[in-house]
Amino acid sequence: MANFFSSPKGVVVAGLTLGLGASVLQKLGNPPNMGLCVACFGRDLAGSLGLHRAEVVQYARPEIFGLVLGAFVAALASGEFKPRAGSSPLIRLCLGFFVAIGALIFLGCPWRALLRLAGGDGNAILGLLGLIAGVYVGAAFIRRGFTLGASQKTVAAFGLAFVLLVLVLLALRLIYPPLPLAAKNDVLFYSLKGPGSLRAPLWASLSLALIIGFVGQRSRFCSISAIQNVLLFREFHFLWGVVGFVVAAWVANLAFGQFHPGFVKQPIAHSLYFWNFFGLAVVGFGCSLAGGCPLRQLFLAGEGDADAGVFVLGLLFGLAMAHNFAAAASGDGLGLHSQAVGIFSLAMILLIAIFGRPVKPATA
């Protein structure tokens, strides 16, 4: 069966769908230029679980669950659910962690960078240049032979583990919804102010994310691949999808009055040019080694890739620690330890890149 969403037209349709969906989610209540952001939503989820206590960014975002479940449904429907595991899980966890630090120095995953661009935030340009630089360096290491090793087939139950985890979290979100004027119910934390308090309605978040997850899995949408394939293979397939994403979000933002061009006082963003570049450079470098951007890792986890699930757990852990260690930036600028933790994260990714060589076959 031909896969429409992997065709040249299909990938653009996928981009348009994701971009429009993100803009609509913002219109329906998500934070500005944050209709869709895996780093931000992961951070909010980590906060809702109490892994960090930054009161303004705590909310069990239904989008995260919808993205994974949508990809899961798409994989099942197309016979592409393939349980697999065992490709350097601890290293992938670490990569997820360090990518999280970079993302919260910039304030967003690559997709939010594109949404910030589509919302008129000029600082996103610095971030995207950093992302390209990071992917370029990662691609150079991959060309030299960097690998995390091959994954192995595993039993269906192990491939399903991440999906089940997501279902449990979704159940918690449904059983313990936000209460009016209470920052915590029996289980979950919920922001009363700040970005964590800005939410599209549950049904909208969940259903749009399910659609985005479905289309994302079918199209193999990935911001890192989009850049990497151009750099390595002069292949523009995914880049056209990204262009579709930005155009759809930009047009929808114009229609919704969500386009405000400029560099200063952009929502949930700072104007430190170097650190915007640096943050997404860390993300680009780390994600290229891990084989996909945070959004793509959610889709892969949904189709049974347990290693991608481990990356996502590392991401959640890193997002939480970024707040606990004062490494996360904010609209006011860098956190107290952003520079130190950011440079440490970059150094660690560099070490992983240097040491990630193929294992020599045993000589008998």
- Least Å distance between CB 77 and other proteins? 13
Burial of 122: CB neighbours in 10 Å, binned 0-12, 13-18, 19+: middle
* Binding residue (CB under 8 A) for other proteins from 9, 50, 77, 143: 143
82 binds other proteins (CB under 8 A): yes
Q: Which is nearer to other proteins, 186 or 360 (CB)?
A: 360
154 binds other proteins (CB under 8 A): no
Lookup: tokens for 154: 């595993």
Q: Which is nearer to other proteins, 169 or 293 (CB)?
A: 293
* Binding residue (CB under 8 A) for other proteins from 89, 291, 335, 342: 291
Task: Report how far residue 321's alpha carbon sits from residue 328's, in angstroms, rounded to the nearest whole number.
Answer: 9
290 binds other proteins (CB under 8 A): yes
Q: Which is nearer to other proteins, 267 or 291 (CB)?
A: 291
Q: Which is nearer to other proteins, 158 or 263 (CB)?
A: 158
Binders of other proteins in range 61-80 (CB under 8 A): 78, 80
Helix 38-48 with 306-324: angle, nearest 10 deg = 70
292 binds other proteins (CB under 8 A): yes
Taking CB under 8 A as the rule, which mask of x and - marks residues 121-140 in contact with other proteins? ------------------x-
Q: Which is nearer to other proteins, 191 or 228 (CB)?
A: 228
Taking CB under 8 A as the rule, which mask of x and - marks residues 6-45 in contact with other proteins? x---------------------------------------
Neighbouring C-beta atoms of residue 32, cutoff 10 Å: 19
Q: Which is nearer to other proteins, 269 or 290 (CB)?
A: 290
Task: Report how far residue 52's alpha carbon sits from residue 21's, in angstroms, rounded to the nearest whole number.
Answer: 29
151 binds other proteins (CB under 8 A): yes
Lookup: tokens for 13: 């349709």
* Binding residue (CB under 8 A) for other proteins from 222, 310, 313, 349: 222
Cβ partners under 8 Å of residue 60, min gap 6: 44, 45, 48, 49, 169, 172, 173, 188, 190
Q: Integer distance in angstroms from the first to the last C-alpha of the chain?
A: 45
Task: Report how far residue 288's alpha carbon sits from residue 267's, in angstroms, rounded to the nearest whole number.
Answer: 28
- Least Å distance between CB 175 and other proteins? 35
Binders of other proteins in range 224-263 (CB under 8 A): 225, 228-229, 232-233, 235, 237
For residue 189, the SS3 value is strand
* Binding residue (CB under 8 A) for other proteins from 33, 48, 58, 87: 87
Phi-psi region of 297 (alpha: psi -120 to 50; beta: other; left: phi over 0): alpha
H helix runs in the chain, sequence order: 8-27, 38-48, 62-77, 89-106, 110-118, 123-143, 156-175, 202-219, 223-233, 237-256, 273-290, 294-302, 306-324, 338-355
Question: Could you list the residues that contact other proteins (CB under 8 A)?
Answer: 3, 6, 78, 80, 82, 84, 87, 139, 142-143, 147-148, 150-153, 220, 222, 225, 228-229, 232-233, 235, 237, 290-292
